């Protein structure tokens, strides 16, 4: 069992940056593929970015490609999401997630067994 806790959300103006962090406890993150998802009230959870277990492969939603970067620090048992050039459409509750399924990361939220509680990102225009 792994527990995930996100932090780093907040209110930022369009064009600004934020770095989200997700610290794990219970097990080391190097066992898992890691993902970031986001969700608006009443909407389905949306894939944002993911990173394979060995950090050899990453994937991004088209809407964030070139602006967001996912990374991991196994020594700190932490995964990050660096978000640059933020837009009002990036406003959402952001979740980190961990998956032990398969050989690489996935966009499918149902393949991630472990989730944090979320951190709110609000981008003003």
**Strand 46-51 relative to strand 58-60, pairing:** antiparallel
- Determine phi and psi for 31, rounding to 5 degrees: -80, -15
Residue 41: per-residue pLDDT: 87
Query: pLDDT tens digits for 65-103?
Result: 999 999 999 899 999 999 999 999 999 999 999 999 999
30: three-class secondary structure by DSSP = helix
Residue 55: per-residue pLDDT: 75
Tokens encoding 57: 């492969």
Residue 10: per-residue pLDDT: 97
With b meaning 16 or more CB within 10 Å and e meaning fewer, what string describes 70-89?
Answer: bebeeeebbbbbebeebeee
Query: pLDDT tens digits for 8-41?
Result: 999 999 999 999 999 999 988 889 999 999 999 8
Contact 97, 112 (CB under 8 A): yes
pLDDT higher than threshold 90 for residue 108 = yes
C-alpha to C-alpha distance for 73 and 82, rounded to whole angstroms: 13
């Amino acid at each position: 069992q792994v527990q995930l806790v996100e932090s780093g959300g907040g209110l930022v103006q369009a064009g600004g940056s934020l770095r989200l962090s997700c610290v794990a406890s219970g097990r080391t993150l190097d066992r898992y593929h890691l993902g970031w998802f986001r969700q608006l009230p009443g909407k389905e959870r949306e894939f944002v970015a993911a990173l394979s277990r060995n950090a050899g492969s990453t994937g991004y939603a088209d809407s964030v490609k070139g602006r967001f970067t996912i990374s991991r620090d196994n020594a700190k048992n932490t995964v990050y999401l660096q978000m640059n050039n933020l837009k009002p459409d990036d406003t959402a509750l952001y979740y980190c997630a961990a998956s032990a399924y398969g050989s690489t990361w996935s966009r499918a939220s149902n393949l991630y067994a472990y989730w944090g509680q979320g951190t709110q990102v609000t981008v003003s225009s």
